[in-house]
Chains A and B, each alone.
Chain A
């Protein structure tokens, strides 16, 4: 009986396995941001405890940061949270890529782009979208603030071993269908609770064919299916992405590292508690109609008839009638950004749709790069000019309107085509209505002024 990749990484990180208790696991990389860490640092101080391994910890500012006007544009409370992070990192000796740093960005964008995220690692962060890092064959999951404190103090976590689920996607992706649509298609199939208690391993030719950016999008959305973590076996695509990055293994360590990464893949005889098969050829560009990410349909479809009280509530909140064609739904705002879809590849594909067009006069559209580095690269390719010329706002890096903790929010009643991950009530601003889409779909919607099938759009 072989082991799954998740099991191998779990076993490799087990510090202790006390009878009847959760396993004690060692954390290789602890990512920290300004919103979920201040209470953890405060508790360490009150208990006279110190940070065990500051050099295995990295902090950035992303949730609160204004995306234009610099730090001066932050409100007083956000400024207090950013100052607290600076002070906490200074005292503990933790490296911080704060506002203004060339390496600042959304925590799940900078980990991989710096080469800090590597196969076989155990990575945690006080943020549910930590599942993103699983794209490298790492075991990565979100934790609460009490656990952030526990990791700061001990570099370990107590966890029960999750169950294993395999989601296998086979076949070539049809034109216009992206990794985001694969993710939304999977969630539409298994539901927002479908992965609860599990680590999902994504397998199959479609997944292997995705770029690292695409794999990150799929793993990022794993939490929206309720799973603990998502992961993909590392391969040549992974190694090629990592080679030469700032924190990747040095040339003299590279071969040994790659050899150990190759051994991570799930053994042939390993079993999964649940298996789901998806035919990529049947996937289409997806659009969410409701208030959770499982409530989505192909863009060619229409708003479904409600089958539960949850559906009815969602339709009322979204102000939609059953039977309405998705493509007929007008939008007010477009947001291209977030840890799901704000990497260079996402901006390139969105720009390729936008080129030569103008944003619809009644739509306000913005692009928020995932990191300062993504922003620089995009500008060096001239993507910013394409977006600006079309009428998009071109912003600084941060989480921005994915969760609206900074000034970028929807007004009540505004409808937004968004490349982010959650369409919960009020997520992008109280009373705001979110339709989750891929970057090319968001770009096309900005130009058309309504949701539109990017495959038909020119």
Chain B
């Protein structure tokens, strides 16, 4: 997993609530057995309908997506996080995420940032009014910022992230490797499991 420390890039808005993972990556693209190459199919149906906001030239190469509540609801497909990463996104900012999408984001290197609805609204308005505007997401200081420039005043908001996943993301840690070090604990637990529990053989 690629570490996430501090990244600056274009902010793209998707002003919709309850964006489900079927919209992020439709099922016909889940039949591949690779982890990469999903970027071209991100929001496939919405893009195909034409006039989709993320297709505007100013949002090309965007690093951050700011969107509505309950982002990533529905199917558990991690392909949703992979397709966003593959398309160049490093973080999604929303008032809330579905539990599974949030976990998939942390575990695949796509930072889910939860901000209050008013702050998200400000960011969406900003990205719509000033297309191509860049923000900085700093995980070390847990701060999203937009430097003051010319006549526009700056903007910042702090966010909180689960401290465990924050460490994993900052360091690019492999969670499986961490758990494999706890082999003794796992073996000890296994010796206590009731005998009636099923085995699949």
Which A residues have a C-beta under 8 Å from some C-beta of B? Answer: 15-16, 20-22, 24, 26, 28-29, 35-36, 38-39, 42-43, 47, 49, 52, 55-58, 63-64, 75, 77-78, 80-81, 84, 94-95, 115-116, 118, 121, 126-128, 142-147, 149-150, 153-156, 158, 160, 162, 192-193, 196-197, 223, 226, 228, 247-250, 253-254, 256-257, 260, 292, 308-310, 313, 403-405, 422, 424-427, 430
Contact = CB atoms under 8 A, between A and B. Distances in A.
B108 interface: yes
Given A24-B182, A144-B81, A425-B22, A256 B196 contact: yes
B87 interface: no
A146 B104 contact: yes
B143 to A, nearest CB: 21
B48 to A, nearest CB: 8
Contacts of A57: 200
Contacts of A143: 76, 100, 103
A136 B178 CA distance: 32
Nearest to A49: B176
B163 to A, nearest CB: 6
Interface in B66-91: 69-70, 73-79, 81
A404 B27 contact: yes
A310 B18 contact: yes
Interface centre among B76, B96, B164 (most CB of A within 10 A): B76
Nearest to A193: B70
B129 interface: no
Interface of B: 15-18, 20, 22-23, 26-28, 30-35, 45, 69-70, 73-79, 81, 96, 98-100, 103-104, 107-108, 162-164, 174-176, 179-180, 182, 185-186, 188-190, 193-201
Given A15-B186, A196-B96, A313 B73 contact: no
B162 A144 contact: no
B22 A196 contact: no
A247 B27 contact: no
Contact of B18 (A42, A193, A257, A403): A193
B175 A146 contact: yes
Contacts of B162: 22, 160
Contacts of B23: 424-426
A149 B198 contact: no
B27 A405 contact: yes
B41 to A, nearest CB: 12
Given A128-B100, A146-B107, A156-B186, A424 B74 contact: yes
B200 A56 contact: yes
Contacts of B176: 47, 49, 149-150, 153-154
Contact of B198 (A29, A142, A192): A29
